[in-house]
Chains A and B, each alone.
Chain A
Amino acid sequence: MTFLELQTLLYERFGYREFRAGQREVIEDIFCKNDVLAMMPTGTGKSLCYQLPGYVLSGAVLIVSPLLSLMEDQVEQLKRSGEKRAVALNSFMDFQEKRRVMKRLSYYKFIYVSPEILQNDYMIRELKKLSISLFVVDEAHCISQWGHEFRTSYLKLSSIRSQLGQPPCLALTATATPEVRKDICDKLGIPTCTEHVYSVDRPNIALVTEQHQVHIDKLNRVLELASSLEGPGIIYASTRSWTEQLSEMLRQHGKNRVAAYHGGLENEDRLLIQKQFLNDELDVICCTNAFGMGINKPNIRYVIHFHLPSNIESYVQEIGRAGRDGRQSLAVLLYSSGDADLPEMFIDHEYPNEAQVIHCASLPANDLQGFMEMLDRMEMGESARRFLFYQFEKEGYFSNEGYPLPKDARERILSKIQQRKAHKRKKLSEMVEWTKGDFCKRKKIGDIFCETSQSIEWNCCSFCKLDLGLFYRKEEKERFFDEPVSWQKELRYIFNQESDDVHEKVGSISADPANERQGASN
């Protein structure tokens, strides 16, 4: 394909005139059937790197994605853009639905899967019947982050790819240090891949860190920022109850267009809140990191971290939700002493403790089911449980029925835990250092990723001087549901009933008071 043809396709299929940095290079490599590792900053259009080739390659594109919600969002985005041949397959689909989809699998062009569902033999058999032209691993840093510990399905991707006829592999990520990139290539079995590495830097996001004396100062500051910054914005906190508290506090101070979002909500509520945010019906969303991946809202103006993320990669990912439209945006990290305790505790809880490992190892092995149930009864978090389970499996515990785990295997597991914890603590202290240090924040992120990012002239970071006033809101937004509700009027509007017996005209859309709830942004 000539460049001109590519550009025509880009415009006709996606409506874009120009490729963004890196897209064209990656796509051309894919057409040469090379394996590719592409690192491009958050929100700059990595999806296009496999979507566009999808229209040229004869077979289907298989995309391995770490999160159910991410897969669903991407399928939805494709459908919105008029591509119906997209589907997400995951272990949670009910039987009937799965059968319906599997029967017409060859119809689909873009097939999203979780690494776990690729462990299923039936699934592999069905996929083998298709021709897969491209094997994509999205958010590929997850291999390194989770693959070793409890999502070991990630480690089997390379053998699955060869079962599927060794289609070219495209690994995508926004945040991977050279060390992680090497790990990705190893685990995926693509040692000779072409690497396209772009800086993680997002020049349109100004980076601010603030240190506060005590916790309460942070609360006041969040309130102040949320009341004065131009939205929409995201406030990240690290626990469910904090997201609720923050949103309640903002509401009590008259900010009505705020909601909390976290994994503890009913699925139905989560979807509603997400859609409200996407439709600009909310200004602020207070959330845990359950919110974010897959959210492709172009106009997010700020991301505030009320709590410290556990490493700089996560931080870069999370602030990457801001400014996808390319406009100037802001990231603020609020810190007060003792803030590292919480992530520290999370690190501890992610792994089983020594006593638990020793106890489990002393039990004679029996069936998997029984072992899982026993783990359920012990007070361990989900990830600690899965870690322990997979480590035992790896040590061959279950194939040695009736015997406890040998001592040397047990020691290996214990030292692995020590290693992983030490590694994570190191990442955490790097994060703390970054937050507190007197240096250009942007340049420092570059250093961590072994890049040569430089400070920028305007709106760089809190060290390089920055005028927060630029980010303040110019005008007040309308409030949420100030008018009394009339259900008759609502109902008429829903179904487009222009007038009714009472001669009360609903008239045009803009005459509907409900419409004002949409705020100024519509």
Chain B
Amino acid sequence: MNMTEGLLLYFIKKFNGERSLSGFLHMLNGKKTSQTLSDGHLFNVSSFFGILPGLHRDEAEQTAAELLKGGMICLEKDRYTVTEKGEKKLEDFFDSHSYLYAFDGMRYKPAEQPFYQMLSLYIQSLSHAIRNDYTFFPVSQDPAVLHSVKTRFPKGEERQREADQLYREMFALLCERTDIDAEVFVLRLSRHNRTGLTNKQVAQVLNIPEVEVQLRFRSMLHFFLKKAKEENGDYRVLNKLAAGLDLDKPLTLSAQKTWHLLNEGKSMDQIIHIRRMKKSTIEDHLVEIAIHYERFSIDPYVTMEEQHRILNAYTVLQTKKLKVIKDKLEDISYFKIRLVLGKAGDVLGTANPVI
């Protein structure tokens, strides 16, 4: 099973017939909308947000057709679900691609590229500077990256010590991964006497598919970012490089503005007025916020009784299809249902996750 098939199969499993193919294409592509944010949360697939950024609709459909032909999924009323055979295949798939467990798109996708740029230029410069070679071609020409590296770069004597430290940090982290992951990672980096390889070139050297190289590498970046943030003291240099990157901003830009206004104590109606936006748009924002911010209370928008009825309906019906739940609870609006399911997402989403 190739990468697209495996990941698509995984999404089909997680969405379990509750969204159409195009419904989760945006998710795979990493397009941040209220819908993908809340779906990611609701179906517990946030970590794979943006995992296949270049996947086109045609290709996705073609892949689904292949899966169907192979008996790994079945199609009913325009919706796909995974068959038993598919389940089995999916297990195998994750067994041979276990690096995907480290992938966390929702959290790290925006930081991926800047972090890589910075890390590779930093390492390239360090690798040359400790050998007193200053005539290399920098792998980044972006003045912003050059500037960031310069402001973080150690002076004279400290350079070798910095190199020793970064060596220890990276060695420790790479040891936690498979050899292939580590090989991919070091080959992508530029050093004294060798320019970094492109994903394609790494694929040729290690004889594995290019998408796989790409995902192994991206997973590693996510892993590094996570470690750099989490265990601050142990990874001093990585932490320094990751500092200031755009992490932990799960909301869409527009929802962020709404969130600021809420924090200033504005009511929903006031926000609609101030922002001159449709009610439904602001409602989308509130759903997003409910998903991501623990301290946001939905109580002003849904009564306790309604909350109970919604959760009840969900437990009984065992579906996240809003339409089905809505049909059962005629008098409660979609907005309220989404808000409650969004808030409860973590509790609801844990049933037998593959990851």
Residues of A within 8 A of B143 (CB): 87-88, 93, 97, 101
Distance to closest chain B CB from A509 (angstroms): 7
Pick the contact of B147: A100, A256, A515 (CB < 8 A).
A100
The answer to whether A281 and B174 touch across the interface, beta carbons within 8 angstroms, is no
Distance to closest chain A CB from B203 (angstroms): 12
A-binding segment of B16-24, B96-104, B129-137, B339-347: B129-137
Closest to B197 in A: A272
Interface digits, B125-147 against A, CB 8 Å rule (1 contact, 0 not)?
A: 01100110001011111011001
Distance to closest chain B CB from A219 (angstroms): 21
B281 part of interface (Cβ distance < 8 Å): no
| Cα A495 to Cα B138 with chains together (Å) | 17
The answer to whether B193 and A515 touch across the interface, beta carbons within 8 angstroms, is yes
Closest to B181 in A: A487
Distance to closest chain B CB from A6 (angstroms): 26
Residues of A within 8 A of B194 (CB): 281, 514-515, 517-518
A359 part of interface (Cβ distance < 8 Å): no
Residue picked from B138, B189, B193, most chain A C-beta under 10 Å: B193
| Cα A272 to Cα B141 with chains together (Å) | 11
A–B pairs, 7, beta carbons within 8 Å: A96-B144, A97-B144, A268-B117, A273-B198, A485-B186, A487-B185, A496-B160
Distance to closest chain A CB from B272 (angstroms): 27
A-binding segment of B42-50, B84-92, B161-169: B161-169
The answer to whether B137 and A279 touch across the interface, beta carbons within 8 angstroms, is yes
Chain B interfacial positions (CB closer than 8 Å to A)? 113, 116-117, 123, 126-127, 130-131, 135, 137-141, 143-144, 147, 160, 163-164, 166-167, 170-171, 174, 179, 182-183, 185-187, 189-201, 204-206
A319 part of interface (Cβ distance < 8 Å): no
A344 part of interface (Cβ distance < 8 Å): no
Closest to B160 in A: A496
The answer to whether A485 and B205 touch across the interface, beta carbons within 8 angstroms, is yes
The answer to whether A487 and B183 touch across the interface, beta carbons within 8 angstroms, is yes
The answer to whether B130 and A251 touch across the interface, beta carbons within 8 angstroms, is no
Interface digits, A461-501 against B, CB 8 Å rule (1 contact, 0 not)?
A: 00000000000000000001100010110111111110000
Residues of B within 8 A of A87 (CB): 143
| Cα A272 to Cα B170 with chains together (Å) | 22
What number of A residues sit within 8 Å (CB to CB) of B? 44
Residues of A within 8 A of B117 (CB): 268
Residue picked from A87, A272, A487, A509, most chain B C-beta under 10 Å: A487
Residues of B within 8 A of A494 (CB): 123, 127, 167, 186, 189, 191-192
| Cα A518 to Cα B141 with chains together (Å) | 23
Chain A interfacial positions (CB closer than 8 Å to B)? 72, 76, 80, 87-88, 93-94, 96-97, 100-101, 251, 256, 259, 268-269, 271-273, 275-276, 278-279, 281, 480-481, 485, 487-488, 490-497, 509, 512, 514-515, 517-518, 522
Contacts beyond the supplied A271-B139, A494-B127, A515-B194: 8 A-B pairs with Cβ under 8 Å? A96-B144, A259-B201, A269-B200, A271-B140, A272-B196, A279-B195, A491-B167, A512-B193
Closest to B198 in A: A269
Distance to closest chain B CB from A401 (angstroms): 26
Closest to A276 in B: B195
| Cα A61 to Cα B49 with chains together (Å) | 48
Distance to closest chain B CB from A508 (angstroms): 11
The answer to whether B196 and A487 touch across the interface, beta carbons within 8 angstroms, is no
Closest to B143 in A: A97
The answer to whether A80 and B186 touch across the interface, beta carbons within 8 angstroms, is no
Residues of A within 8 A of B144 (CB): 94, 96-97
The answer to whether B186 and A490 touch across the interface, beta carbons within 8 angstroms, is yes
The answer to whether A514 and B193 touch across the interface, beta carbons within 8 angstroms, is yes
The answer to whether A495 and B147 touch across the interface, beta carbons within 8 angstroms, is no
Distance to closest chain A CB from B188 (angstroms): 9
The answer to whether B174 and A487 touch across the interface, beta carbons within 8 angstroms, is yes
Residues of B within 8 A of A93 (CB): 143
Question: Given A487-B179, A495-B130, A496-B131: A281 and B186 within 8 A (CB)?
Answer: no
Distance to closest chain B CB from A128 (angstroms): 23
Pick the contact of A72: B141, B190, B201 (CB < 8 A).
B141
| Cα A457 to Cα B140 with chains together (Å) | 45
| Cα A492 to Cα B164 with chains together (Å) | 9
The answer to whether B174 and A491 touch across the interface, beta carbons within 8 angstroms, is yes
Residues of B within 8 A of A522 (CB): 193
Distance to closest chain B CB from A198 (angstroms): 30
Distance to closest chain B CB from A8 (angstroms): 24
Residues of B within 8 A of A72 (CB): 141
Distance to closest chain A CB from B353 (angstroms): 31
Distance to closest chain A CB from B320 (angstroms): 36
| Cα A104 to Cα B204 with chains together (Å) | 45
Question: Given A487-B186, A490-B186, A496-B127: A271 and B166 within 8 A (CB)?
Answer: no
Residue picked from B127, B185, B197, most chain A C-beta under 10 Å: B197
The answer to whether A281 and B167 touch across the interface, beta carbons within 8 angstroms, is no
Pick the contact of A485: B123, B163, B187 (CB < 8 A).
B187
Closest to A273 in B: B198
